[in-house]
């Protein structure tokens, strides 16, 4: 597509950018999706493993599946939805974690969330760790759960922002991979892959979007890159947008990485059942046995632990997992597992993290991040969502909302041509 033919450029082809570009396309707007990676999907990324299974290195769960737009998109593509219960809604394996202890932990978790809710009602925007019971027996594991949910420990997280998250409690999966669904939803849109946007100059009548493959002119732009890259000023705006960057800096990306392991003799375990490596500390993995019934373990590492493991290379995830698993299941267990795949999202230059949380005092940064500039620069991405942040459906919603704003501006412009410079 010649750059003169473009009305709107969408920067970043993750779930948000693809949702925006799709909606613009369906409304007859001439859009162009520009993506730095050689593939679509961003943090939605399915790869096919050596046994032919589709594994999601990024998002896998259709959270709030009963109202998740990706569910209908997946079904429209003919994908298969698995509705079996997620591991966190089933009892865990009773290895080093008796049923009585699991019940006690469940109650401690519920009390923590109840205190968190009260804190938010009665206080300024404090760290969520203020809701921990001082010296509580389960604080280590409650913190581990925070690293899985938010990619950081509770002391870093805004209680108010966390409390704004809405979850319907329905969690489904796509057998072919959620990353596949997101990728395919964008596949036929006008698109430039392997093309990094370097800056956006909005001084002139048309925007000038500088890329490493030349400049593109457009009327509007939807910026849908990860908030971590905005916070680091990796996209240069001319004139600069200090308030936007400040909002981005209030919303760091937490860190979570998945390691997939092949498991011999998997039938010994129930499907989709979870085992914590340790129950007395935050730095521990959550091991999901037989995800989707497959002969695998999906290991999840978050927060400081994930950062430490990333710094020590791919192999350190496997070594850590084996040390925790053999500690619970005996030394012979090391002969039953083999690493399949890991992706270090913190070191991935086009993510620099996994999903956003808000720093204490920064709960309102999400609205500030999503705010359009001069009706020409629009913003999308999971971090812009006030109630569904950190998810693929939250990303979709912000992309669709940004596209609707663009469409509204453009229809006003075409009715009143003098309204725009």
Ligand X SMILES: Cc1cc2nc3c(=O)[nH]c(=O)nc-3n(C[C@H](O)[C@H](O)[C@H](O)COP(=O)(O)OP(=O)(O)OC[C@H]3O[C@@H](n4cnc5c(N)ncnc54)[C@H](O)[C@@H]3O)c2cc1C
Return residues touching ligand X (CB under 6 A). Answer: 11-17, 34-37, 42-44, 58-61, 63, 196-197, 224-226, 229, 235, 256-258, 345, 350-351, 354-355, 381-382, 390-393, 395
The answer to whether 377 and 223 are in contact (CB under 8 A) is yes
* CB 265, min distance to ligand X, A: 27
Decide whether 329 or 353 has the Cβ nearer to ligand X: 353
Asked if residue 286 lies in contact with residue 148, where contact means CB atoms within 8 angstroms, the answer is yes
Q: How far is the C-alpha of 72 from the C-alpha of 184, rounded, in Å?
A: 13
User: Minimum distance from CB of 193 to ligand X (Å)?
Assistant: 9
Cβ closest to ligand X, residue 60 vs residue 277: 60
Based on CB atoms, which residue is closest to ligand X, 132 or 392? 392
Minimum gap (Å) between residue 183 Cβ and ligand X: 10
Euclidean distance between CA atoms 325 and 57, whole angstroms: 21
CA distance linking residue 16 with residue 340, whole number of Å: 29
Instruction: Rank residues 20 and 119 by Cβ distance to ligand X and give the closer one.
Output: 20
**How far apart (Å, rounded) are the C-alpha atoms in residues 69 and 62?**
9
Give the separation between CA 73 and CA 174, rounded to whole angstroms.
11
Q: Give first-to-last CA distance, the chain, whole Å.
A: 25
Least distance to ligand X, CB of residue 146, Å: 15
Whole-angstrom distance, CA of residue 196 vs CA of residue 16: 17
| Cβ-proximal residue to ligand X, closest one | 14
Query: Min. distance of Cβ 388 from ligand X in angstroms?
Result: 8
Closer CB to ligand X, residue 25 or residue 43?
43
Residue 54 CA: distances (Å) to CA of 206, 230, 263, 300: 43, 31, 16, 17
Nearer residue to ligand X within complex by CB, 101 or 210: 210
Cβ 225 to ligand X shortest distance, Å: 4
């Amino acid at each position: 597509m010649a750059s003169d033919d473009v009305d709107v450029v969408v920067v970043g082809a993750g779930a948000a950018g693809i949702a925006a570009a799709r909606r613009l396309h369906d409304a007859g707007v001439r859009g162009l999706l520009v993506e730095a990676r050689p593939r679509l999907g961003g943090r939605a990324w399915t790869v096919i493993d050596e046994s032919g299974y589709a594994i999601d290195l990024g998002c896998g769960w259709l959270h709030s599946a009963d109202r998740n737009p990706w569910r209908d998109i997946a079904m429209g593509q003919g994908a298969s939805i698995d509705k079996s219960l997620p591991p966190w809604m089933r009892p865990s394996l009773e290895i080093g974690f008796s049923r009585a202890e699991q019940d006690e932990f469940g109650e401690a978790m519920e009390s923590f969330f109840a205190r968190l809710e009260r804190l938010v009602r009665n206080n300024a925007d404090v760290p969520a760790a203020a809701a921990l019971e001082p010296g509580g027996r389960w604080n280590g594991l409650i913190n581990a759960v925070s690293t899985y949910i938010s990619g950081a420990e509770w002391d870093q997280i805004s209680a108010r922002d966390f409390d704004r998250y809405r979850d319907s409690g329905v969690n489904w999966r796509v057998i072919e991979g959620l990353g596949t669904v997101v990728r395919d939803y964008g596949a036929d849109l006008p698109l430039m892959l392997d093309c990094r946007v370097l800056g956006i100059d909005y001084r002139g009548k048309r925007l000038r979007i500088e890329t490493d493959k030349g400049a593109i002119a457009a009327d509007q732009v939807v910026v849908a890159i990860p908030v971590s890259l905005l916070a680091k000023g990796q996209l240069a705006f001319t004139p600069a947008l200090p308030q936007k960057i400040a909002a981005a800096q209030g919303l760091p990306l937490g860190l979570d990485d998945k390691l997939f392991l092949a498991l011999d003799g998997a039938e010994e375990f129930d499907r989709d059942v979870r085992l914590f490596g340790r129950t007395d500390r935050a730095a521990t993995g959550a091991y999901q046995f037989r995800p989707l019934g497959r002969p695998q373990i999906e290991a999840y590492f978050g927060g400081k632990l994930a950062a430490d493991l990333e710094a020590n290379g791919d192999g350190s995830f496997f070594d850590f997992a084996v040390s925790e698993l053999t500690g619970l299941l005996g030394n012979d267990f090391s002969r039953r597992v083999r690493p399949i795949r890991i992706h270090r999202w913190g070191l991935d230059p086009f993510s620099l993290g996994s999903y956003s949380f808000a720093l204490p005092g920064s709960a309102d940064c999400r609205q500030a991040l999503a705010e359009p500039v001069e009706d020409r620069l629009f913003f999308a991405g999971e971090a812009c969502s006030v109630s569904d942040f950190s998810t693929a459906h939250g990303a979709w919603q912000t992309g669709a909302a940004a596209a609707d704003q663009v469409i509204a501006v453009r229809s006003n412009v075409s009715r009143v041509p003098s309204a725009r410079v």
